[in-house]
Structure 1
Amino acid sequence: MHTNPAARAVERGVDYIEANLCEPLQLSAIAEAACMSRFHFARMFREQTGLSPMEYLRMRRIERARQLLHADGQRIGQIASELGFYDQSHFVRWFRRSLGCTPSAYLQDARADRPCQ
Structure 2
Amino acid sequence: MKADAQASFFENVYEVVKLIPYGRVTSYGAIAAFLGSRGSARMVGWAMNASHACPEPVPAHRVVNRNGLLTGKHHFGNQDLMQQLLEQEGAVIEDDKILNFRELFWDPSRELGY
TM-score, scaled to structure 1: 0.38
- Greater Rg over alpha carbons, structure: 1
TM-score, scaled to structure 2: 0.39
Greater per-residue helix proportion: 1
Greater per-residue strand proportion: 2
Q: Which has the higher contact order (CA 8 A, sep 6+)?
A: 2
